[in-house]
Structure 1
Amino acid sequence: MKPNYPTLEQTIGRTPLVRLQRIPGDLAQARGNVILAKLEGNNPAGSVKDRPALSMIVRAEQRGEIRPGDTLIEATSGNTGIALAMVAAIRGYRMILIMPDNLSLERRAAMTAYGAELILTPASQGGMEYARDLALRMQSEGKGKVLDQFGNDDNPQAHIDTTGPEIWQQTEGQITHFVSAMGTTGTIMGVAAYLRDCNEAIQIVGAQPAEGAQIPGIRKWPEAYLPKIYHADRVHALEYIGQPEAETMARRLAAEEGIFAGISSAGALVAALRVAARVQNATIVFIVCDRGDRYLSTGVFNQES
């Protein structure tokens, strides 16, 4: 009998959960806290967004809304676009991605490598909000179907089905706090929904940008653009993260823990450390949502820590 080899999409998920050893320091140890990193950069397209990308396309297929050969459209700041481009390549779709022009060169190159068409919009005209409006306008003109990660319940459902159960199993139900950067909010919404069903005492903490901070992957949306999938009552606390501290933590995470991660992941760790400083005997899990090589052209890893 021949081995049953997996397809690429079957390798999405089941990512490692690892304990930080040096950054938490003596204070966390003295307080009996452990900080765990969920390494989503281990997904095949390099981020946590592989999960909702697959979910949104497969579930739309199952509902008969799309079929291979169709054109899909999405506004993205990077990771979702890369993941959608990969899944579109696997399943036979044409992918049009709309992205503000101030985001990293690595993200652009990854999207086009998977065969996606990339439309860059002027960041000066509104960034992601402008990109989202353009995607909907193109859909109304019959140029393709918008998957809409911001309003599509298939986004958080991916994390209810996979990320949440993995974290619960990997911590053997010991998790007390879950910390995630907030962008589209799909990750924090889905994981929160699952974990609170397992134990309603688990605290959900979101990382948002401090005033003036521009951290890729962490957003605070204007009211008119607030993701429809977001439910504020699922998040118990918000931590506001400054850009310099997120960038410094990204360098520390690589140099002190060997985890080469993106800036929003480091922001989530900043939030997790704040939680660890005020609780005891806690098991704190934060999402490392992507890999640091996606940010090399920004120069953030060239600076002194």
Structure 2
Amino acid sequence: MTSPPGVAGPPMPNMLHEDVLSMIGNTPLVDVSNLSPNPNVRILAKMEMQNPFGSVKDRIAKNMIETAEADGRLQPGQTILEPSSGNTGIALAAIAGIKGNPIKIMMPDSVSIERRQMLAIFGAEIILTPGPEGSNGAVARAKALAAKHPEWYFPYQYANDANPRAHFEGTGPEIVRDAPEITHFVAGLGTSGTLMGTGTFLKQHDPTIQVIAVEPPLGERVEGLRNIGDGYIPPVFENWNGYELLDRKRVVRPRESIEWTRRLVNECGIFAGISAGAAMAGAAKLASQIDFGTIVFIVCDGGWKYLSTGAYTDDLDVAEANAESIIYF
């Protein structure tokens, strides 16, 4: 589809890339309207698993590193430190390896083994933090360590403007280019960068487009998501006026996330991570509550990094119980 008047949009992808970093972005949309409970509501999946390092976080990792290089905060050979439960760490490690920067990733010891393996493959030093502290604990410990080592570069995705900016300049324009009829955008609340950047672009393009956040119930864990009432509100969310930007929030429980992840696999052939199931659950709930429209939601990553968790093959009750002890994202 061509861009609507007044929206240039990103360039269409080329078949020949100058390097792997130029493959980041321009991910396809896939129609999964067969999962829509309303025949008058179309549902489209933005396939961020197609990025070269496997997730939507490829976008922000590239932008944070290249922005820091451009303004002099990151020098050749300088060590990078970042808290991550997986996807951002993997993308940062891959890009740091290409550019020759050592990198240390702080993560809870309750993440899936595949995440640790990927970080090791890309050469990251993994610093484990106590699993019961979750992602918030890893963030707090990383901030303390960064304060002791000002000579390291600390991207800090939760407060880095290059995080939402990557989506404002890339993800949002791509969606408008490929689905100009969009009426609703659904994504999970993690660092909030995807929602803030993409949502801001969409609202500027068409103020009638609604932006919906998917979050777990307070005190419960859903892969890749956070409830902003859990004691930590990402600075990105506040800096990009998150409370004003969001039209509504949808609560999705762990069991629902796993059920819809399995439906994506079984009925659409999309082998996605659990956060995609959560976003799809939110999109389905929304579709049942509106008369008509086109919903776009984010498939953050693929399911191959979560095989060891049993989320796809275990009895549903067992998989739900595992979600309380394993950090999938």
* Fold shared by both chains (TM-score > 0.5): yes
Tell me, what secondary structure is at the counterpart of 1:284? strand
Runs of 4+ in 1 over 3 A off after TM superposition: 221-224
1:218 aligns with 225
Q: Does 1:240 align with 2:225?
A: no
1:132 aligns with 139
Tell me, what secondary structure is at the counterpart of 2:34? coil
Q: Which moved more, 1:133-142 or 1:41-50?
A: 133-142
Q: Which amino acid aligns with 1:233?
A: E
Tell me, what secondary structure is at the counterpart of 1:205? strand
Q: Which of 26, 31, 34 pairs up with 1:19?
A: 31
1:15–1:43 contact (8 Å) kept in structure 2 = yes
1:62 aligns with 70
Distance 1:4 1:223, change over 3 A: closer
Tell me, what secondary structure is at the counterpart of 2:286? helix
Q: TM-score, normalised by structure 2?
A: 0.87
* In structure 2, distance between residues paired with 1:68 and 1:42: 29
2:11 aligns with none
Q: Does 1:34 align with 2:25?
A: no
Please report how far the alpha carbon of residue 22 of structure 1 lies from its aligned counterpart in structure 2 after TM superposition. Answer: 2.6
1:278 aligns with 289
* In structure 2, distance between residues paired with 1:145 and 1:236: 35
Q: TM-score, normalised by structure 1?
A: 0.94
Q: Which moved more, 1:132-141 or 1:145-154?
A: 132-141
Q: Deviations over 1:202-236 (max 9, x none)?
A: 00000000244312211124575310010221111
1:292 aligns with 303
Alignment of 1:88-99 (within 5 A): 88-99=96-107
2:17–2:23 contact (8 Å) kept in structure 1 = no
Distance 1:4 1:247, change over 3 A: closer
Q: Does 1:254 align with 2:261?
A: no
* In structure 2, distance between residues paired with 1:224 and 1:153: 21
Aligned identity (percent) is 40
1:138–1:144 contact (8 Å) kept in structure 2 = no
* In structure 1, distance between residues paired with 2:130 and 2:109: 6
Tell me, what secondary structure is at the counterpart of 1:229? helix
Alignment of 1:94-243 (within 5 A): 94-124=102-132, 126-142=133-149, 144-171=152-179, 173-221=180-228, 225-230=232-237, 231-243=242-254
* In structure 2, distance between residues paired with 1:250 and 1:220: 20
1:21–1:257 contact (8 Å) kept in structure 2 = no
1:107–1:294 contact (8 Å) kept in structure 2 = yes
Q: Does 1:7 align with 2:19?
A: yes
Q: Which moved more, 1:143-152 or 1:174-183?
A: 143-152
2:218–2:230 contact (8 Å) kept in structure 1 = no
Please report how far the alpha carbon of residue 73 of structure 1 lies from its aligned counterpart in structure 2 after TM superposition. Answer: 0.5
* In structure 1, distance between residues paired with 2:93 and 2:26: 21
Q: Which of 312, 325, 328 pairs up with 1:301?
A: 312
Q: Deviations over 1:83-135 (max 9, x none)?
A: 111111122211100001111111111111100100111122x2222211221
